[in-house]
Amino acid sequence: MILGLIIAFVLGTAAGIFTGLFPGVHINIVAAGLLASIEYFSGVEVIVLAVFVVAMAITHTFIDFIPSVFLGAPEEDSFLAVLPGHQLLREGRGYEAIIVTLYGGIIALPVILLFSIVFVFFLPGVYDFVRVLIPYILIFGSVYLILAEDEWIISGIVFIFAGFLGMFVFSLPVKEPLLPLLSGLFGVSGLVVSLKSRVKIPKQNVGGWRSVRMGRKEFWRATLSGAIAAPLCSFLPGIGSGHAAVIGSELNGSTQKDQKSFLFLVGMIGTVIMALSFVTVYAINRTRSGAAVAVSELLGEMSLNHLMLIIFVVIVSGIVAFFAGIQLARFFSHWIDLVDYRKLSVLIIFLLFAVNLALSNWLGILVLVTSSALGIFCIGSGVRRIQLMGVLLVPTILYYLV
């Protein structure tokens, strides 16, 4: 049994590195594939399979910033260029950007321990009260984020269009609908915009990871903001890491121009929300991520012993992923300036279409093209791409209201 758990942990960590590095290959795809082929693992304890999923999911949250920073930086007049990771990349500081997100991920681990206890004892009672307010909380949050934009009318249009797209797609027989939706909105769209410019990535500065520092005041403000925003968003449906990052940055008093603080916050929030999604399964029997769905279906009713093992795996996989992320960031930093960025972008677009064609259907390709067009419009309009999350928020709000 112990040997099986160790093997599952190692394989899960390796799978998380793979999914984190390759755009379009999400942990939800692997988790869904595992559930679909569960009969082939009839001789394996379900807790072993659950450990694989947890290790993969947590590792993914550390590693997926690497392709986000190194594989999506258009010229200054594009919306993506204002993202802190891309700004630092263009200054030859892409390695530094990744290290700061890894710092956020490692600081998330003690926050996860604290809020796991809080969730177990208090979330059931809180959720019973909040449940009837969920659609109104989502509406308020959505309106606030729209009005916070300088171009709030265009922001609202993008949000509504995304919402209609989500409602339409979820009503069609699209296989794995989230894959083409999210691949187009947040993947292909940015890469297509980057093709319009002749990006030349400068040689990256790579030093020791310990030399990357944040100010003490910025560190504690970002940590406190993340510790408030991430748990708050971790049990609400339709709310993800992007919304928590925006809420956290508002609490922190920082903007995306405050590069290190924002990157630290985003790195922290992604790991906290993923880990607490497993605790939420135990506390209120609700799933808020694809990985949590897989764990819930594998274990059935999660016991306290299961939860304790899962939290242990979260902590250990987070530590392993932190050091793996450092080495991968160093590797990418050394070769990224030697790559023809336009050819690389074309290759990734081709891979995203290939993955969607293999795992979805012809309707999925149509969804991919449509969502990519909406993503390009959003980028060109200069509004924050968080508005594209209307694709999930609008159907969720209507589900709870109707």
State the Cα–Cα distance between residues 385 and 402, nearest whole angstrom: 27
State the Cα–Cα distance between residues 30 and 27, nearest whole angstrom: 5
Q: For 293-341, write each residue's pLDDT tens digit.
A: 888 888 888 889 999 999 999 999 999 999 999 999 988 888 777 777 7
* Higher per-residue confidence, 183 vs 312: 312
Q: What is the pLDDT, as a whole number, of residue 344?
A: 76
Is the pLDDT at 360 greater than 90, yes or no?
no
Q: What is the pLDDT, as a whole number, of residue 252?
A: 66
Is the pLDDT at 57 greater than 80, yes or no?
yes
Task: State the pLDDT confidence band at 197, using cuts at 50, 70 and 90.
Answer: low
* Higher per-residue confidence, 70 vs 112: 112
Is the pLDDT at 79 greater than 90, yes or no?
no
State the Cα–Cα distance between residues 212 and 367, nearest whole angstrom: 41
Percent of the chain whose pLDDT exceeds 70 = 89
Is the pLDDT at 288 greater than 80, yes or no?
no
Q: Which of 13-17, 175-179, 353-357 bottoms out in mean pLDDT, i.e. has the lowest?
A: 175-179
Is the pLDDT at 114 greater than 90, yes or no?
yes
Q: What is the pLDDT, as a whole number, of residue 76?
A: 34
Q: What is the pLDDT, as a whole number, of residue 23?
A: 62
Q: Which of 102-111, 116-125, 248-257 has the highest mean pLDDT?
A: 102-111
State the Cα–Cα distance between residues 380 and 58, nearest whole angstrom: 33
Task: State the pLDDT confidence band at 203, using cuts at 50, 70 and 90.
Answer: confident
Helical packing angle, 259-284 and 290-299, nearest 10°:
20
Instruction: Let me know how many helices (H) and strands (E) the chain has, helices first.
Output: 18, 0
Q: For 59-78, write each residue's pLDDT tens digit.
A: 999 998 888 787 754 333 33
Q: What is the pLDDT, as a whole number, of residue 338?
A: 72
Is the pLDDT at 98 greater than 70, yes or no?
yes
pTM listed for this prediction: 0.81
Is the pLDDT at 81 greater than 60, yes or no?
no
Is the pLDDT at 157 greater than 90, yes or no?
yes
Q: What is the pLDDT, as a whole number, of residue 24?
A: 57
- b/e burial code for range 325-361 (CB count within 10 A of at least 16 → b): bbebbbebbeebeeeebeebbeebbeebbebbeebbe
Give the other-Cβ count within 10 Å of 209's Cβ. 19
Q: What is the pLDDT, as a whole number, of residue 293?
A: 85
Q: What is the pLDDT, as a whole number, of residue 243?
A: 67
What are the φ/ψ torsions at residue 387 (nearest 5 degrees)? Answer: -65, -25
